[in-house]
Structure formats: structure tokens, C-alpha cells
Structure 1
Amino acid sequence: MGKAGRAGGAGERSAIVVGGGIGGLAAGVALTRSGWQVKVLERAATFGEVGAGLSLWPNGLRALDAMGVGDQIREQALVETQAGIRNTSGRWLSRTDTQELARRFGPVVMIHRAQLFDILRTALPAGALCAGATVTRISVRGRRVEVEHGKGVSQADLLVAADGIDSTVRRSLWPQAPAPRYAGYTAWRLVVDTGRRLSAGGESWGRGERVGIAPLTDGRTYLFCVANAPEGQRNPGNELAEMRRRFGHWHDPIPQLLTAADEEAVMRHDIYALPPLASFVTGRAALLGDAAHAMTPNLGQGANQALEDAVTLAGLLDAYPDVESALATYDRHRRPRTQMIARRSHRIGIVAQWHSAPAAALRDLMLRLPPGSAMLNALTPILSWQPPGRDNLMGPHVG
């Protein structure tokens, strides 16, 4: 990735990034490394991330390498050495050859979201971060964009919308875009400290329910649970009790993790996805991450695709002489790929959440039949992604 952005003419180029999550910070880091002056606007009073784990796949790690922070990530992350799917009694239905996956593509690592967030945040100049900046007005006029927010009015050559699935920028500049849709299931997430480190994780599937476990570097464990449920259903003050009711009888170490869990650590969110958009760009504005392609978490690719977006956008702005051409190519590169991954994730979620006994039994049989290499082959179009270079920037890119 170059050190001096070309798009937009002579002089230092400027960009406003709306949204201070992982995708927004990644965009800020990638653009800063390409010579852009960046301001990241975050509506919250402080920059921070929720207490949950995050899988970084080989494609996401390559993007982080392109931003110059990959080694820092690896120092704080834990390589996943065991993965696969069990049933509720603990019998393996499908096992992932993590050694072969690492040989083909590179390792998968688990990190606390807050650790990744802090690494990206500290890679930005202190003056680039602007908290408490709720966007109230956006205009794109010719070669300039203007954003009015809680701290004043900012102008720049480029606007990057990384403000999540309910993006204010998308609603403003893409008024015809479809609204997010409920996937039909809800998720609980928390980090648990049992006083002992787990040696391995993985997922377990039941009838309309799932549990995922991932050890973290500090000895704690990231735990997520998924269940079919009506949209908006909640158990105020009793979410942990609901988790124990649903999953407390599953195989070890799930009951022990739930016993050690703290109600205050439980986060519950219904799962939504964004229907396919006709374009990720308009004028000098581009959508990135969940604002562009929010997907269900069944492939673990949401954050990884935001990281890909960030380095691709910065690389294209280096490669093209003007912002509009760079953004048009960004749309051609990113939209087919991310929408393909979103479709795959949606289909996996449908099968994983089958509830009837015959359907779940058929699904479990289907998981046991294919050889382990079949799963790796299916992941190849996703995990083989490489950061953009001069030789692969100019045409459509799906794989």
C-alpha cells in the first residue's frame, strides 16, 4: 500500500469516516497509511468496543498485515487448534483440519474485540478521533463532502460510511436502500472466567439452538449461544437464567461455563442482515463494513470483510487518479464478493437453525458424510483473498 494517495488531485487528500468501530478504524488506518488526512467521527462519548470474542480468518489477517498491524494482532491472539461441530451430547458431527487449513491459507486466530479495537485505535493519529459526534446532516457537492455533527461541520474529499447496519449515512444518501431484516434467531454473547484455560473450542448444534466456545489468550473463554426466537423477545435481568434453561444440560464444558457466568456480562442481540444493495458508492461517498453488507455471523466473516473493504478502498484510491473512478472500482470489487459471502452465511444459518427433529437429524447426517477436505474447498473462495496490488485492482473481483 502506497504512502501518498493519488485520487483527488494534487495536495493532501482528506477523508471523513463516519463510525468508530472496527471497520471505521480500519478504514482510518488504511487511508492514513496511504497519505490521507483522516477524521473518524463516533457518536458515542468515547471510543470503545464490547466485551466479546472475534475470529480473525486468514483473509482478515492479510488485510491487517497490509495495514501494518498484523504482527501486533498475532502477539495478542490465540491460534485456533481445534474446530468443528458437535451435537448436544458432545459427539463430533464434523471436524475441521486446522493444520491443513493453516497450511493452505494461514491460521485462524481468536482475539477479544477490545484488543483488536485498541490496536487499530493506537495506529491512528490522536487528532483523527472525534467522539461525541452524532451526524445530523450530510451533503455531497461536486468534489467535496460536508458532514454536520455534534462537534461542528467537517469537510473532506471523501466520505466513508462505516456506521453499522443501521447506518445514518446510508439512510441519508441511499434513501431507496432496503431496511435490515431479522434472520429469525437471537444471540447471547459473553466472556467467562472459570479460573482455568480451555484447550480448544468449537460449535455445538441442537434443534433450533447453537453454542460456540472459543478460548482467549488471557485464560478466559468467549461463549455465544443462538436460538430461534420472536424478534424483540427479552428476559430483563434474567438472560443468564434463560441461557442456563436452554443450554445448561448440553455437553461439557457448557454447563460449567454457564455456572461461572455473570449476568452483567451477558449481551443479547437479535440477528439481522442487510438485503443486497444496488451499489456501495454514490458520488464521493462509499459504504464499508456492516453499513454496506451486514451479514449473519455464521461464517465468522463480518469483521473480516470490513477489514478487506478498508485496504481495498485505500489501495484503489492509490491506484486511480480520481476519487470517482476509485470508488466505482471499489464497488465492482467489493459488492459481488461480500454479497456472495452474505448469501452463503444466510444459507448456513437456515440449516443450522432447523428445529424439527427429522430436519435436525438429516442435517446432522449431512454434516458427518463429507470428507474434511470438502469444507476447506468450500472456503477457498473466501480465505484465498489477497490484499489488492497493482496487478489485481483493475477488474471485477469476487474470489
Structure 2
Amino acid sequence: MQPQKENMEINEDIVIVGAGIAGLATSVALHRLGVRSIVLESSESLRTSGFALALWTNAWRALDALGVGDSLRQLSLHFTRFQAFSADSGLPIAEISLEANNKPIDYDSRCIKRQEIVETLEKELPPGTIKYSSRVISIEQSGVFKLVHLADKTVLRTKVLIGCDGVNSVVAKCMGLQKPVDANRSAIRGYVEYPKAHGFEPKFCAYFGGGVRIGFLPCDDKSLYWFCTFTPSDYDEKIEGSPTKMKQFVLSLASNVSKEAYNILERTSLDSLHCAKLKLRSPWDILKRDNIVKNNTCLVGDALHPMTPDIGQGGCSALEDSVVLARCISEAIFARKLIKVEKLEEGDELYKRIKVGLEKYAKERKWRIFSLISTSYLVGLAQESNGMVISYLREKFLAQFTIKTMLKMGDFDCGKLLK
């Protein structure tokens, strides 16, 4: 009988759970400000799965603050306009140009592969920052510290714990947050690569109505990302396990879209399809301070604010979070260079300052997040509803309003990283 492995306890100043976009961006932001962190990732290597995501002006401002905006712009196309069509008739119903006198106006809207974002952020971190094969199984309080228990019996004792571990966040559960609610809608996403240039203009095309929302976005000269969100009234959940049926289902929903858009869907390979139910955090939960920050623990990205994708702000807002949080933590701990203090009691200044810094983050983010979740849900409701009145209003008014809303919500500046 082999002896049981004893728990090994390691002290770490700041522990981030999850090496997705939110976790990597937060660690990079802290690193830029001279604050060391480690990132725990349950996978054996960097997770590069997932196809692409639209990044609006606010996301590019955050990426610029992180120092990676220009390098990522080299890998993407700047959208010149937005076009909306009726999913019922296929006819155009709204259009907004992002150029004035043939020059880009103050919007930076692009679609970029998720793999390129996470790989770029990972390269900015010091070697050894990400601890792979580090699955968190439980979290407990020990005085003013958090003890993070890993599957390999390691225990991390940390002053600050940051949950960036997605919709099913272990850290959010530890903080006592309720699970995200079902939005009663689903999304199928796909990605298409062409052997040569695809020839599509750098524009965002979306089809609204009839209970569906379909969009197409070029990532670069050879690849396109598309999405289809829908209310699954006629959707058999067994489709999720069958890429062939999934593709057939999307094609049936897209019968009235343009021929070139239909061909994009038809061209998508079966291994480039993904289906998921949409979930969101109740926006009212965000207004409760303890649901964003609790003592020395906080949340970033989907762990904090899962939302429907209708204004494309999930990944963008996570990048905002990372910059704001790093700035608040840095201001707190560098006030008197206290991050190296090892003995930390309830009344000590470091603990107080960390708590104040995290509470500042919560205060700065809560109304922004509340607005994003609420707006996204309501826009999605208007886009997909198929009643006669809402269909008429959408074609005459709401489509244009939707595009302007997306641009307005994306015209936000989370600020710089100031050391």
C-alpha cells in the first residue's frame, strides 16, 4: 500500500483561476504594472479552441492599454460598414457606414480568431506564470487568506483570488453566487477558411427576424466567422451531438438569406461547428457588491457577467474588466510597497488596502456590466421576435437602432494602465 501524498502548501500573492482571455488579460495587465500573479489552468496546454469573436472599439482600447492592440490589428480586417437584412425576406433593412469621406471614423470594429488573442497574450507573460494541469477542486477561507486546493493535492495560500474561470466558475460558486440563468435561446457558431482570398468586403452582415439572428464577419482575407442564435422551439437537443444535423438545421433557418451567405454556411466543415445554450447573469445580481467582490476575492469576464451575444460584448467587457481590476489592485498595493508582507492579519494595512482596491473595482464596473447584460438581452429579444408588430418595427426602425446600439455600447474607454 503506497503512502498517501500529503498536501503541499505554497504562498502566492495573487492567484488567477482560468487561462482564457479574461485570465490572461488580467495577468498581463498586472504584469505591466509590476505586480506578479500566477494563472491556474486545468488543461494541459493553452486552450486555443473556439473560433473567433467580434471586438469593438472598447476592446481595442483595452488591448492598447495591455500593449498588444497593434500586433493584433495586423491579423484582422477593419469593418467599413454594418448591414442588416430581414431574415424573412432577405431584403436589406438598415446600413451604417464606418467611414467618413473614405476615411475610418472613430470606431475600431474587427473580428479576430480566439487563438490569436490568447497566444498573443500568453507571449506577454513571464515564463512559468501559467500553471497548467492545475484543476481547482475547492476553495476555503483561512483567516484573511484564501486556500486554493488543486487536484494534485497542492494548496495555494493567496492574498488575492481572481476568478476568470467562465460561466461555470468554481470561484463564483465559492463566493455564493447563484448559477447563471437560461436565456431560453441557443447559438450555433461556425468558421470557414478558404484556400485563397474569399473576396468578401470587410463588413458585418446580420439577418434579423423569424425567430433567428444570423451574422457573418470576415476575420482576414481567407477566413470568415458566422453565428446563428435562435429560440429552440423546433430544435431537437439531439442535434447538438450530430454536426451533420446541426448543419442541416442552420441551413433550414437560413433559407431566405442571400445566396452568398447561404454558401458560407454550406461550405462550413462539420468539425468547425459548435452549439451551446445561451446563459446570462441576472443584471440585478450585479448590483449587489458582494457578487463582484467578497473580501479578497473577485470575478472577471464570464465568471462575473455571462451575457447573450446580441451586442457582441462578452469578450470585450472581459478585457475592460482586466484593465480596471489591475489598475485598482496596483493602486492599492503599491501605495506603500506592501505586496511582500507575509504575515497578514485582519487589521493589517495591506489587507485593508486590497479590500478597498477590489471594492473600487466593483464600484467602477457594476453599472457598466448591468447596462451591457440588460441591453444585450433586450436587443436579442427585439432581433429574434417574430410577431407581426415587432417584425414591422424591426424592419422600419429597430434594425437601424440595433446597429447604433452596438456601436454606442462599444464606444467606451476603460482607461490606461498607469504605473
1:315 corresponds, among 319, 327, 349, to 327
Q: Is the CA contact (8 Å cut-off) linking 1:198 and 1:219 kept in structure 2?
A: no
Question: How far apart, CA to CA, are the structure 2 residues paired with 1:378 and 1:17?
Answer: 30
Q: Which residues of structure 2 form unaligned runs of 5+?
A: 1-10, 336-352
Q: What amino acid maps onto 2:19 in structure 1?
A: G
Question: How far apart, CA to CA, are the structure 1 residues paired with 2:172 and 2:236?
Answer: 23
1:351 corresponds, among 382, 397, 415, to 382
Counterpart for residue 164 of structure 2: 162
Q: How does 1:68-147 map to 2 (within 5 A)?
A: 68-88=67-87, 89-99=89-99, 105-147=106-148
Counterpart for residue 383 of structure 1: 411
Counterpart for residue 263 of structure 1: 270
Q: 1:138 to 1:369 in 2, by over 3 A?
A: closer
1:54-90 deviation per Cα after TM superposition (whole angstroms, max 9, x unaligned): 1111111111111111111111121111213111344
Counterpart for residue 346 of structure 2: none
Q: Which residues of structure 1 form unaligned runs of 5+?
A: 1-11, 391-399
1:246 corresponds, among 216, 239, 253, to 253
Q: 1:242 to 1:288 in 2, by over 3 A?
A: same
1:293 has 2:292 as partner: no
1:178: Cα distance to partner? 2.6
1:272 corresponds, among 257, 265, 279, to 279
Q: What amino acid maps onto 2:18 in structure 1?
A: G
Q: Is the CA contact (8 Å cut-off) linking 2:56 and 2:407 kept in structure 1?
A: no
* Superposition RMSD in Å: 2.5
Question: How far apart, CA to CA, are the structure 2 residues paired with 1:124 and 1:378?
Answer: 32
1:255: Cα distance to partner? 1.6
Q: What amino acid maps onto 1:85 in structure 2?
A: A
Structure 1 range deviating more: 100-109 or 249-258: 100-109
Q: Is the CA contact (8 Å cut-off) linking 2:30 and 2:330 kept in structure 1?
A: no
Q: What amino acid maps onto 1:37 in structure 2?
A: R
Question: How far apart, CA to CA, are the structure 2 residues paired with 1:380 and 1:240?
Answer: 33
Q: 1:216 to 1:351 in 2, by over 3 A?
A: same
Question: How far apart, CA to CA, are the structure 1 residues paired with 2:398 and 2:92?
Answer: 9
Question: How far apart, CA to CA, are the structure 1 residues paired with 2:417 and 2:53?
Answer: 27
1:218: Cα distance to partner? 4.6
1:310: Cα distance to partner? 0.5
Q: How does 1:19-58 map to 2 (within 5 A)?
A: 19-58=18-57
1:134: Cα distance to partner? 1.4
Q: How does 1:217-232 map to 2 (within 5 A)?
A: 217-230=220-233
Question: How far apart, CA to CA, are the structure 2 residues paired with 1:351 and 1:47?
Answer: 37
Asked which structure has the greater CA Rg, the reply is 2
Q: What amino acid maps onto 2:162 in structure 1?
A: V
Question: How far apart, CA to CA, are the structure 1 residues paired with 2:161 and 2:171?
Answer: 9
Counterpart for residue 62 of structure 1: 61
Counterpart for residue 363 of structure 2: 332
Q: 1:284 to 1:81 in 2, by over 3 A?
A: same
Question: How far apart, CA to CA, are the structure 2 residues paired with 1:232 and 1:164?
Answer: 26
Question: How far apart, CA to CA, are the structure 1 residues paired with 2:361 and 2:236?
Answer: 35
1:90-131 deviation per Cα after TM superposition (whole angstroms, max 9, x unaligned): 422121221259966431111111111110111112201112
Q: With the length of structure 1 as denominator, give the TM-score of the two structures.
A: 0.87
Q: 1:347 to 1:158 in 2, by over 3 A?
A: same
1:376: Cα distance to partner? 4.4
Q: Is the CA contact (8 Å cut-off) linking 2:164 and 2:301 kept in structure 1?
A: yes
Structure 1 range deviating more: 146-155 or 288-297: 146-155
1:341 has 2:369 as partner: no
Q: Percent same amino acid among aligned pairs? A: 25
1:381: Cα distance to partner? 5.8
Q: What amino acid maps onto 1:330 in structure 2?
A: Y
Question: How far apart, CA to CA, are the structure 2 residues paired with 1:43 and 1:331?
Answer: 27
Report SS of the residue matched to 1:297.
coil
